[in-house]
Structure 1
Amino acid sequence: MFDVSFWELLVIGVIALIVVGPERLPGLMRTLGLWVGRARATFYSVRDEIEREANAQGLRDTQRALRDTERDLREGVQSTTDSVRSEAERARQGVEEAAGAAQAGNQAGTSTGDDDATQHRGDQAER
């Protein structure tokens, strides 16, 4: 805080001894010590409060960053899920269309085969 050397304190002590006198000097030193202690306690209290506020602000910033990251992750997962669902739906529709086409082809082949068999029987009956 303040840079006070030993010699500066000695000079202040000698001046105080001359001005106040040897009878009241111990009381003055005690009072001065109390005031210095209170000043230090106040200083440390203010410093601790500022540090707590700075830490709280840092925690709030971290919490905000975590919320933003969580939101971004949720959006990414949601978009991935939506694209997978749409691709699965397209694949399902493709399979249904292919199955429908195959079934229609089987029905057409079966009816054509029946017609051929019937015609073949008719040809044999004529012979």
Structure 2
Amino acid sequence: MASDDKERWAMFGIGFFELIIIAVVALVVVGPKRLPEVMKQAGRLFVHLRRTANDVRSSFEQVIREAEDEIRREEAESIRKSLQPVQDVRQELQGLLQNSGDVVEHTKADQPQVDQNQAEQTLVDQTPLVAATPPDHQPQGSHTFNPNGPGPLHKS
């Protein structure tokens, strides 16, 4: 707690006892009649110095922010430039896909349109007719059904 009191009274690195000594010297040098006026002027000077210090600090922080923003912009531009070949390849591929799609559409347009019924009729017309073999005539070497169940088949 003693260190907190010292820190609370410390101003500009000046402790409580140093402030008392300064006040006594000011009282002796300036005199009791002019002391309040001098203290007001000192207070105004202190406020002006504090305001100036804050302005300088905010200006400095603004310059730092602007420099950081400039660095970010340069890095972003560098990244954009490094990604440009990838974008070029992407655009080229999209162009090729578009061209291939146009070719497919053009090819489809060139092919005649055939409806389902016409396609089935063409298939029926092109299928060769096979004559059925009479049941009493079996070609030589053909196998017959074994009525006794599973087992070797007999040739006729």
Range class of TM-score, shorter chain: 0.5 to 0.7
- RMSD in angstroms over aligned alpha carbons? 2.1
Does 2:102 match 1:72? no
Within 5 Å, which residues of 2 pair with 1:56-71? 56-71=66-81
State the alpha-carbon separation in 2 of the partners of residues 53 and 15 from structure 1: 43
Deviation track 1:2-61 (CA, whole Å, cap 9, x = no partner) reads: 312121111100100111111110000000111111111111101100100000100110
Tell me the SS of whatever aligns to 1:2: coil
Task: Indicate which of 28, 31, 34 corresponds to 2:38.
Answer: 28
Higher helix share: 1
Larger radius of gyration: 2
Q: Normalised by the size of structure 1, how large is the TM-score?
A: 0.60
Does 2:17 match 1:7? yes
Number of residue pairs matched by the alignment: 86
**Unaligned stretches of 5+ residues in structure 1:** 93-127
Tell me the SS of whatever aligns to 1:76: helix
**Unaligned stretches of 5+ residues in structure 2:** 1-10, 101-156
In percent, how many aligned pairs have the same letter?
28
Tell me the SS of whatever aligns to 2:40: helix
Q: Normalised by the size of structure 2, how large is the TM-score?
A: 0.49
State the alpha-carbon separation in 1 of the partners of residues 12 and 65 from structure 2: 27
State the alpha-carbon separation in 2 of the partners of residues 17 and 36 from structure 1: 19
Tell me the SS of whatever aligns to 1:28: helix
User: Which portions of structure 1, spanning 4 or more consecutive aligned residues, are displaced by more than 6 angstroms?
Assistant: none
Q: CA deviation at 1:77?
A: 2.7
Q: CA deviation at 1:79?
A: 4.2
- For 2:47, give the aligned amino acid: G
